[in-house]
Amino acid sequence: AKNGTDPNGYIVFCPCMGRFGNQIDQFLGVLSFAKSLDRTLVLPNFIEFNHPETKMIPFEVLFQVGTVAKYTRVVTMHEFTKKIMSKVWPPEKRKAFCWNPRKAIYDTDAEPGCHAKEGNPFGPYWDHIGVSFVGDEYFGEIPGGFETSQMGSRKKWLEKFGPEEFLVLAFSSAPAAFPSKGKVWSIQKYLRWSSRITEQAKKYITNNLQKPFVAVHLRNDADWVRVCDHIDLEKNRPLFASEQCLGEGHHQGQLTMEMCIPNKQQIVDMIVEKVGSIGAKSVFVASDKDHMIDEINEALKPYEIEAHRQEVDDMYTSLAIMGRSDLFIGNCVSTFSHIVKRERDHTGQSPRPSAFFGVRSA
C-alpha cells in the first residue's frame, strides 16, 4: 500500500442513531458491510448522551481492537485522524454519503441533502474529528443499498463509488439495517470488552457476588413504557430487538406486554424460578431506573441469598457482568439486553443460558 494506506479505501461513519444498544446493533451490520466492500473500517467513537453533554467514547476504550481486526481490516479513529486522513482525504474531497436527499430539520430554506452535520449528535460527531463536508452522495439507487448480499450490489458500489474517485466513504449514519438481521448476530464474537472493562467486571463479581449467579436486566425508565405502547398485538410485528427471543419475523410466537414491560410480580417470579433452577447463590441487577433490590430480596429470603447492584450503574461494566453470569434474564425488546444475549450465544465454545421475561421455556 502506498504510504501505508489502504488502496481499497476506507469507511468512516457516525453511529448517529439511538443509544448504546442501538449503536452496537448497527455496528455489527457495518462490520459486515465494510468486509464485503473490502475496505478498511474506521472504528467509530460511540456516542454517550449525558444531557446536556454529548460524549465521544473511542471504540478502543470499550473493546479490543485486535479481536475485531480478526473479522475485517480496521483502524482506530485516532490513528485515522492523526496519520491517514490528510493523505487519503483532502478537505475538498470530503463528501457525505446518505441514502437519499431529505429536507433539513432546522433550516427550512436549505436544499434537500444529507445534512450530515445538522443537529446533535451529527454536528458534534464530525466536529470532534475535524471533518466538514463539501457535498453529498446518495447510494439509495444501488440495489440493496448497504445490503451488499443482493445481486449486483457490490459491483454497483465499485462502479459508482470506487476507490479511485472515493478513497473514503463517509456515512452520515450507520450503513446497516436496524434492527439488525439475524445473520450478523454472530459477529458479536469479535467484540471483546477491553481489559479495563473486563477487569472492572471481574472485580465487581469477586467483591460482591457469590457463584453461581443470575444476572437480570430491568429496562424500566419512562421512555421504555412508551416503546411498549407500540406493541402491535394484531400484526405481531417485530419491535426493536424482539426477534432475539421470537425469531425472525416472529415465527416463534407472539410479542406480549409481559415481554416488553413485565410487572413487578412477573419480574420477581421469574427471578425466583431461575434462581431455583440453577441453585444460584446471588443475583446481579442492572437497570436504567428501578433495580427493585428490596422487592427482589424480599422474595429471595427463603433461599437465603441476596440481590446486588452497582451503586453507580456503569452501563458498560453492567453489560460485562451480565455477560459473565451463569444465567441471564433479559428484556426481549431491548437492544441493550441483546448485546448480552449475543455475547452469551457466540463468545464461547457453546451458548450459555439466557432467558427473557414473558417467555416460557420448555
Figure out which of the listed residues 219, 309, 324, 342 binds ligand GFB, where binding follows CB under 6 A: 219
Q: Binding of ligand GFB at residue 223 (CB under 6 A)?
A: yes
CA 188 to mean position of chain CA atoms: 10
Nearer Cβ to ligand GFB (147/314): 314
Instruction: Work out which of 36, 54, 76, 287 binds ligand GFB, going by CB under 6 A.
Output: 287
Q: Which stretch binds ligand GFB (CB under 6 A): 92-100, 111-119, 147-155, 332-340?
A: 332-340
Closest CB to ligand GFB among residues 136, 288: 288
Interatomic CA distance for residues 132 and 51, integer angstroms: 24
Q: Check residue 288 for interaction with ligand GFB (CB under 6 A).
A: yes
* Rounded alpha-carbon distances, angstroms, from residue 94 to 88, 123, 167: 10, 15, 10
145 counts as binding ligand GFB under rule CB under 6 A: no
Bond into 302 cis (ω within 30): no
Tell me the per-residue interface mask from 224 to 243 with ligand GFB, x by CB under 6 A, - otherwise: ---x------------xx--
> Do residues 26 and 15 lie in contact, with contact meaning Cβ atoms separated by under 8 Å?
yes
Q: With contacts defined by CB under 6 A, name the span among 50-58, 180-188, 215-223, 267-275 that binds ligand GFB.
A: 215-223
Q: Which of 264, 261, 265, 244 is nearest to 253 (CA)?
A: 244
Q: How far is the CB of 286 from ligand GFB (least distance, A)?
A: 3
Residue reference for cell 449467579: 213
- Residue nearer to ligand GFB on the CB measure, 148 or 220: 220
Is the Cα dihedral 65, 68, 72, 77 positive or negative?
negative
Instruction: Identify the residue among 286, 292, 307, 332 touching ligand GFB (CB under 6 A).
Output: 286
Grid cell 428501578 is found at: 290
Between CA 118 and CA 130 the distance in angstroms is: 15
Q: Which of residues 10-49 bind ligand GFB (CB under 6 A)?
A: 18-22
